[in-house]
Amino acid sequence: MIGAGLSGSAVAHSLASRGWAVTVLDQAEGVGAGASGLPAGLAAPHVSPDDNVLSRITRAGVRSTLQRADALLQSGTDWALTGVLEHNLAGKRRLPKSDPGNSTSTSTNTNTNTNTGADLPHDMSTLASAAQIAAAGLPPETPALWHGQAGWIRPRQLVAAQLQTPGVDVLWGQTVHAIERRGALWTASNAQGQILGEAPLLVVASAFDSLALLNPLPAVTVPLKPLRGQISFGHMSALSDPQRQLLPPFPVNGHGSFISGVPAPDGQPGWFIGSTFERDCTQAPVRAQDHAANQLRLATLLPALGAAMHTQFAPEHVQGWAGLRCTLPDRLPAVGPIDSQRLPGLWLCAGMGARGISLAVLCGELAAAWLDNEPLPLPPALVKHLSAERFVRT
């Protein structure tokens, strides 16, 4: 395995749990050098009126992630199943309707709505109740959804826990410069040509950097792209009482996301707002203008809180973290063999985009089930949308 982020650690965990011996090579000196170093993020479903492929895959992914978090992480400090309120700005998000005549399952809810979501094809997302909208500090008429099976996660903790699975051996500080098939084995070597690892199966899970390893190989056409993002965060201890009183008791998304009461990287309870999106940028410095963009995001997402918290974006309070997401044009990851005919034994797990927390665990399970000829965790009609081979040109 090349890459010890959410993707690599998820595949490693799923394989090692099935008895495989997995060696993970990562160029960093420890967990969280890439996008998975994100201090805190959300596992939350995507909804669409036709319950489209992205919605169905994300829903399955969130379930897998929450189960994994429940099994491996400490609730309250590493993750929490809080539920997430989605502020349905511009009414863009619409729940699927199982009954075309059911007018309650639209985005135009009011505070009198009592829909429980029992009529929906799944039970993870409903219209938000008046009490949930009020708890977020939003006006009663605000259109909003409630994702009950959702919450926050600190990705580093999940990565670290998955890498601790017996059978997983992590070699830090190993920058893979080239990969090559020699006989029946794939080899990964460093810039000096020294072999860092060799195996009949090589899984490349090094996000956007995967491209540099894959490009020299013949016939590889996976169009990975970088998408820089920054979150802004601060300490709860710096908040005034009036600011604290406005904090929602659960994360809110819909225009970026706001999370509070979650340990910041230094362990102190923090608040977090993000994220920015910047295409075609391959570096991830923290920038002052991105704090300003996140401040605006908070003011749109939660207007009362945004107005009250403007002082917290002063340079002496606000902190930042930036990383590179790795995306694909259809907004879905690429998992599995890259080209089983021409490059047998070479697999990919990358392209998690802005949903690695929600998707990587499922992708790891998919890869391992596939390799072990088990029933797959998704129906074939969805698996084909994740298959890395969908990019092979014939």
Ligand X SMILES: Cc1cc2nc3c(=O)[nH]c(=O)nc-3n(C[C@H](O)[C@H](O)[C@H](O)COP(=O)(O)OP(=O)(O)OC[C@H]3O[C@@H](n4cnc5c(N)ncnc54)[C@H](O)[C@@H]3O)c2cc1C
- What is the contact surface with ligand X in residues (CB under 6 A)? 2-8, 25-28, 33-36, 38, 41-42, 155, 175-176, 205-207, 209, 229-231, 257, 274-275, 323, 325-326, 350, 352-358, 360
Residue 206 CA to residue 310 CA, distance in Å, equals 37
Nearer to ligand X, 2 or 239 (CB): 2
- Minimum distance of ligand X from residue 128's CB (angstroms): 19
DSSP class of residue 387 equals B
Identity of the residue, 115 or 229, whose beta carbon is nearer to ligand X in the bound complex: 229
Least distance from ligand X to the Cβ atom of residue 140, Å? 27
Nearer to ligand X, 115 or 333 (CB): 333
Rounded least distance, CB 115 to ligand X, Å = 26
Instruction: Compare residues 195 and 307 and give the one whose CB is closer to ligand X.
Output: 195
Distance CA 48, CA 56 (A): 9
Task: Please name which of 310, 386, 308, 312 lies closest in space to residue 347, comparing C-alpha atoms.
Answer: 386
The two tokens of residue 297 are 């995001």
Can you read off the two tokens belonging to residue 91? 């009414």
Report CA-CA distances (Å) from 220 to 188, 227, 339, 385, 390.
17, 21, 8, 18, 11
Q: How far apart are CA 103 and CA 100, in angstroms?
A: 8
Minimum CB–partner distance for residue 106 and ligand X (Å):
26
The three-class DSSP label of residue 188 is strand
Contacts of 267 (CB under 8 A, 6+ apart): none
Q: How far is the CB of 240 from ligand X (least distance, A)?
A: 27
Closer Cβ to ligand X, 229 or 337, answer by number: 229
Kindly give, in sequence order, each residue whose CB lies less than 8 Å from that of residue 190, ignoring residues fewer than 6 positions away: 174, 175, 176, 177, 196
Largest CA distance in the chain: 68
Q: Which residue lies nearer to ligand X by CB, 31 or 308?
A: 31
Minimum distance of ligand X from residue 266's CB (angstroms)? 18
- Comparison of 27 and 107: residue with beta carbon closer to ligand X: 27
How far apart are CB 99 and ligand X at their closest, in Å? 31
Cα dihedral 199, 202, 203, 209, rounded to 10, equals 120
